[in-house]
Structure 1
Amino acid sequence: MLTGFANPSPASDQPLASHLFEEISHRVINEYSEAIAILSLAASRGEATAAPALRRAADRLHAMAEAHRSLLVPIAEENIDLGHHVGKLCSSLSRAYLSERGIQLTVAMDEIPLEAARCWRVGLIVSELVRNAARRGLKDRQGSIRVTLNRSGSSAWCVVCDDGCAASDPPEGHEWRLIRALTAELGGSVQWKFTPCGSVAGVRFPLITP
């Protein structure tokens, strides 16, 4: 688990950190559920003109809750398919944040068996890269984002690209430190390329814990 976006926590700290993370996540999802229930009830009792807007708000919150749930640590003793995990995450992100802005998210995934904890870290990286592509590359305007995940021998290569107009190096900030820290925990590397025609972020990491 992360500790201040630096090095991985000592093994003795991981069970407690994981438990706390899951507890907080479940509370957040429960709060989403309560908000959805309140909006749905208001829509059923409200005026005809307000009901559609309330239902749309409830649907949006439901999609956001699903996106949050997809970022939880997968519970599995054996390896899981990284491609399926990332593909499901991208689908949730598209419904929650991108489709209503006219941003099309497409994916191309290889089937890659990987430890659940490493899948979780890759999912967090992809989530941050997709959000950054929408926010900084496309600047929340219409456009497209593509996520590819390929296996190459004992390594995997994940690429997130957009057709926006970002043309500068990535700024230093919370999201960039998070991406670098997670990539370092995987024993991998991350590179960015920004052009007037779009941006590309590539993450390479070994499939086995270094």
Structure 2
Amino acid sequence: MPTLNEVLRSSEALSAADTDWIHLLVEDWQVLSDLSFGDLILWVHTDRGWTAAAHVRPTTGPMVFVEDLVGTICDAERGAWIDEAERAGATVPAPHSQRMGDMLTREEAVPVVRAGAVVAVLTRHINLSRVADPSELERTYTALADAMSRMIAAGEWPSPSAPTGLRRGSPRVGDGVIHLDAEGIVLYVSPNAHSALRRLGHDGPVVGAVLAQIITDQLQEGDQVDESLALVTLGRAAWRAEAATDRATMTLKAIPLTERRRRVGAFVLVRDVTELRRRESEMISKDATIREIHHRVKNNLQTVAALLRLQARRVDDGAGRTALLDAVRRVSTIALVHETLSSGFDETVSFDDVAVRGLRAVVELATSEHTIESAVHGTFGRMRAEDATSVAMIISELVQNAAEHGLAAHGGRIVVTAERGNEGGEDILRVSIEDDGEGLPQGFRIRRAGLGTRIVTSLVHDLRGTIRWDDVEPRGTRVRFSARLRPLSRSADVAR
């Protein structure tokens, strides 16, 4: 099945502005489908004829089409009716009701107009067997849907000024609808919208009252007020707003209704998002607490490193002082990971910055009379905190070894290269650390290596990886290790 973009690209008649207008329509047409209690299909001209570019079904009633029609070509009978809507530039009902098995449907074609020209045609398909005697809610919704259809045919909807990408909890038709006149007075309120207003704190009549007054009466002095709230509750702009009291939180979305560019009313979608905002607040508080913990751990580790550094100064040159300075470096490496976690919003680390900073720190500490250059190639990507700590320790030890033993006599260059890949569904990190120093000592054996090498092999084993040391021609050492990283999502880790 083709996508909307693919169908639009196949239509030579559409300009870039026309395509943007159609995308704007489809972005918000679920509202029209729900108010219509029917399916909507968007048709555009292609070299094969009228082609279905998009299809949406209602959430407020039974659908008409079980199969998605996107990509299908309109038949001759329906095509003639759509052609008539395009020529007339106005909504055209189907010549007669359509029967689909046991279901009787009513259909109409609505031209989609932009800048005075028809760029597509939208068809509405309504299941007539839904309800024999419509309720006030259904009559109101149908009237609002008809008004929206007339706005589409007049090029007055969708509204380019309507904002997108706001916080979660945008209201839908099923959440609640309030119909306003041109002055913002409530003409109709759906049961769900009525309940939302009650939870917000309003206990008086709603129909006949000014919605803006109802909402503002519930706000207390000192409450933070959304700057767009007044325009939304009066139905004067196609914007969204949020109203919060000590009892509840409500999101609102206004759709002004116009005739010949003159506003004649509006309807406002409302949704009680109290529990949603409460959970978001808890998550924000939890995230802030976790970041504060990482910040304090980082501070404590830096304090430990400072104490070890002070102790090292009191020890005569020799193995004891070297051991203390190695401990300072290791503690500082772990602190660097926690510092990165304290500035993020989850328990994962973008390791590239950690690698660069850690490499520079080790090289600067190791450099004495001879210059050592360093570089990082490739990308480490994101990884879980526990993996980041181990990888940072491995790299720190290997770089320290290269600087202290391979390059101590004459300086040189250390290059760290990283590569992420996938093997058998597992995330694999491969790292190479290469220097142009003295090379491996004669008779090098891991079993006889020092503490740093034993730490490295232990950490690589914990990461279910492998490690190998090799000489490099004409001179130098290359250490390559791999690590099987945990999934970034903890749920995925549990599933394994």
Matching residue of 2:483: 205
Matching residue of 1:156: 429
Matching residue of 2:490: none
Cα separation, partners in 2 of 1:136 and 1:24, compared to 1, 3 Å: same
CA distance in 2, matches of 1:66, 1:128: 9
SS at match of 1:179: helix
Please report how far the alpha carbon of residue 187 of structure 1 lies from its aligned counterpart in structure 2 after TM superposition.
Answer: 1.2
Higher RCO (CA < 8 A, seq sep 6+) = 1
Cα separation, partners in 2 of 1:119 and 1:66, compared to 1, 3 Å: same
Matching residue of 2:13: none
SS at match of 1:74: helix
Matching residue of 1:29: 306
CA distance in 2, matches of 1:103, 1:87: 15
The structure with the largest alpha-carbon Rg is 2
Matching residue of 2:459: 182
Deviates more, 1:98-107 or 1:77-86: 98-107
Among 330, 337, 341, the alignment partner of 1:74 is 337
CA distance in 2, matches of 1:29, 1:67: 12
Please report how far the alpha carbon of residue 161 of structure 1 lies from its aligned counterpart in structure 2 after TM superposition.
Answer: 0.5
Structure 1 or 2: larger helix share? 1
Whether the 8 Å CA contact 1:84–1:111 is kept in 2: the answer is no
Cα separation, partners in 2 of 1:128 and 1:67, compared to 1, 3 Å: closer
Matching residue of 1:143: 412
Whether the 8 Å CA contact 1:159–1:203 is kept in 2: the answer is yes
Where do residues 1-210 of structure 1 align in structure 2 (5 Å cutoff)?
Answer: 23=300, 26-30=303-307, 32=309, 69-72=332-335, 74-75=337-338, 76=341, 77-98=346-367, 101-153=370-422, 154-167=427-440, 168=442, 169-170=444-445, 171-195=448-472, 197-208=475-486
Cα separation, partners in 2 of 1:189 and 1:22, compared to 1, 3 Å: farther
Please report how far the alpha carbon of residue 158 of structure 1 lies from its aligned counterpart in structure 2 after TM superposition.
Answer: 0.8
* Normalised TM-score (structure 2): 0.30
Give structure 1 stretches of 5+ with no counterpart: 1-18, 37-64
Please report how far the alpha carbon of residue 182 of structure 1 lies from its aligned counterpart in structure 2 after TM superposition.
Answer: 0.8
Whether the 8 Å CA contact 2:417–2:432 is kept in 1: the answer is yes
* Alpha-carbon displacement from aligned partner over 1:46-65 (angstroms, at most 9, x marks no partner): xxxxxxxxxxxxxxxxxxx7
Letter in 1 for 2:439: A
Letter in 1 for 2:470: K
SS at match of 1:83: helix
SS at match of 2:367: helix
CA distance in 1, matches of 2:358, 2:335: 10
CA distance in 1, matches of 2:392, 2:430: 13
- What is the root-mean-square deviation of aligned Cα atoms in Å? 3.4
CA distance in 2, matches of 1:32, 1:173: 21
* Alpha-carbon displacement from aligned partner over 1:144-195 (angstroms, at most 9, x marks no partner): 1111111122201111001112243344221211110011111111111024
SS at match of 1:80: strand
Deviates more, 1:165-174 or 1:186-195: 165-174
Cα separation, partners in 2 of 1:176 and 1:24, compared to 1, 3 Å: same
Identity %: 21
Whether the 8 Å CA contact 2:429–2:484 is kept in 1: the answer is yes
Please report how far the alpha carbon of residue 129 of structure 1 lies from its aligned counterpart in structure 2 after TM superposition.
Answer: 0.5
SS at match of 1:106: strand
CA distance in 2, matches of 1:155, 1:147: 16
CA distance in 2, matches of 1:144, 1:88: 16
Structure 1 or 2: larger strand share? 2
CA distance in 2, matches of 1:83, 1:146: 14
Letter in 1 for 2:334: L
CA distance in 2, matches of 1:94, 1:67: 14
Give structure 2 stretches of 5+ with no counterpart: 1-295, 314-327, 488-495
Matched length = 165
Letter in 2 for 1:136: H
Cα separation, partners in 2 of 1:121 and 1:162, compared to 1, 3 Å: same
SS at match of 1:158: strand
Whether the 8 Å CA contact 1:67–1:93 is kept in 2: the answer is no
